[in-house]
């Protein structure tokens, strides 16, 4: 009960910022789309110019996907590289919905992973942080909304941008590449795992799975759901239009042994039923279910860090070193 109370309290604060006008737009994208083709840029090799600024600890590049907002199409993330000799793990950390900074991710992982000598890359999702367009009222408003097509395109842009970063790391570093996503970042990490073979491990923490399910059946989506209902869109139509964004609709391209899923038993942001659906669809990879709600991201951050790091050390790195 305490976990649910904390989640509900946090949700009341979350909903103090909501879209002031309808975000709905009549969809034009077809509902039958080839996944592999859709999440590829025009340049299938993902070759682009990535600028690495080692003094400011940042990397930057222009997205292959163009939108009407130039600042959303310019990716600038943080990176912290070690001067290690030999193979060094490369950890890409992906934040959650509506995040304004990487502080929550850093509070869980940064010091602990840095002390191990691992390279860290913080990746900004579409329409978040510095990528938030001027008309948007809050970070992430335009990534997930009642604008069906824009949500799909934002998902595509986030995946293509993430894959661009992955391929750049693959070209410049020797060690394994591991995605660590939290909440919405876990959903993106899971979706990327079904599309990108150049990943060596995925740890997904309190992850979303089917966007349609999350918007229709959980409290965070209630205003977006209301926007849909006001415009005649039901759950069935939502499933059809957002099916292309469903990680459980395809199997991962990496080994099941290199996937760790972490969920909260009392999560009010993300349905445990939907998290179970992904786990079962993927053949039941390694999993932890904590006795907490979504607030466990903060309350259980030491345990999250310990389980994540242990899995990378004991599973991902061992398999990578054997195959190398």
User: Which two three-digit tokens encode residue 288?
Assistant: 């932890």
Q: What predicted TM-score, i.e. pTM, was given to this entire model?
A: 0.95
Q: How far from 250 is each of 170, 263, 297, CA to CA, in Å?
A: 24, 20, 27
Q: What is the mean pLDDT of residues 84-89?
A: 85
The 10 Å Cβ neighbour count of residue 228 is: 24
Please give the pLDDT value at position 2. 52
CA distance 300 to 296: 5
pLDDT (tens digit, 9 = 90+) per residue, 106-158?
999 999 999 999 999 999 999 999 999 999 999 999 999 999 999 999 999 99
Please give the pLDDT value at position 11. 45
Query: What DSSP line would sit under 92-114, residue for residue?
Result: EEE--TT-SSSHHHHHHHHHHHH
74-80 vs 58-62, strand pairing mode: antiparallel
Please give the pLDDT value at position 13. 57
193 by DSSP, 3-state: which? helix
pLDDT band, very low/low/confident/very high, at 43 (cuts 50, 70, 90) = confident
pLDDT band, very low/low/confident/very high, at 251 (cuts 50, 70, 90) = very high
Which residues are within 8 A (CB) of 160 and not within 5 positions of it... i.e. 6 or more apart?
39, 40, 41, 46, 63, 64, 65
Q: Alpha carbon 166 to chain centroid distance?
A: 14
pLDDT band, very low/low/confident/very high, at 1 (cuts 50, 70, 90) = low
pLDDT (tens digit, 9 = 90+) per residue, 172-216?
999 999 999 999 999 999 999 999 999 999 999 999 999 999 999
Please give the pLDDT value at position 7. 55
pLDDT (tens digit, 9 = 90+) per residue, 257-280?
999 999 999 999 999 999 999 999
64 by DSSP, 3-state: which? coil
Please give the pLDDT value at position 44. 81
CA distance 249 to 128: 26
Query: What DSSP line would sit under 114-125, residue for residue?
Result: HHTT-EEEEEPP
Please give the pLDDT value at position 322. 80
User: Which two three-digit tokens encode residue 252?
Assistant: 């991962």
What is the overall mean pLDDT for the chain? 93
% of the chain residues with pLDDT over 90: 86
In this predicted structure, the answer to whether residue 16 has a pLDDT above a threshold of 90 is no
CA distance 134 to 167: 30
In this predicted structure, the answer to whether residue 17 has a pLDDT above a threshold of 90 is no
């Amino acid at each position: 009960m305490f976990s649910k109370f904390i989640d509900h309290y946090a949700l009341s604060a979350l909903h103090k910022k909501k879209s002031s006008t309808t975000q709905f737009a009549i969809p034009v994208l077809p509902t039958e789309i080839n996944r592999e083709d859709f999440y590829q840029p025009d340049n299938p090799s993902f070759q682009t110019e990535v600028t690495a600024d080692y003094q400011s600890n940042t990397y930057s590049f222009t997205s292959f996907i163009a939108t009407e907002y130039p600042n959303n199409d310019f990716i600038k993330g943080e990176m912290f590289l070690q001067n290690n000799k030999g193979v060094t793990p490369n950890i890409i950390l992906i934040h959650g919905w509506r995040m304004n900074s990487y502080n929550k991710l850093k509070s869980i992982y940064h010091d602990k992973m840095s002390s191990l000598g691992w390279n860290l890359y913080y990746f900004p999702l579409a329409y978040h942080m510095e990528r938030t367009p001027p008309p948007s009222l809050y970070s992430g408003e335009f990534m997930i909304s009642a604008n069906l097509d824009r949500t799909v395109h934002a998902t595509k842009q986030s995946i293509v941008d993430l894959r661009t970063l992955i391929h750049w790391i693959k070209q410049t570093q020797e060690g394994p590449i591991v995605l660590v996503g939290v909440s919405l970042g876990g959903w993106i990490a899971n979706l990327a795992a079904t599309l990108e073979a150049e990943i060596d491990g995925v740890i997904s923490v309190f992850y979303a799975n089917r966007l349609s399910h999350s918007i229709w059946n959980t409290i965070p989506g209630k205003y977006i759901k209301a926007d849909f209902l006001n415009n005649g869109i039901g759950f069935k139509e939502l499933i059809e239009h957002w099916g292309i964004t469903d990680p459980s609709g395809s199997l991962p391209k990496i080994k099941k042994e290199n996937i760790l899923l972490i969920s909260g038993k009392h999560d009010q942001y993300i349905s445990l039923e939907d998290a179970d659906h992904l786990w079962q669809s993927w053949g039941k990879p390694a999993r932890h279910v904590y006795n907490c709600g979504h607030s466990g991201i903060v309350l259980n951050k030491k345990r999250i860090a310990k389980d994540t790091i242990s899995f990378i050390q004991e599973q991902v790195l061992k398999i990578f070193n054997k195959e190398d």
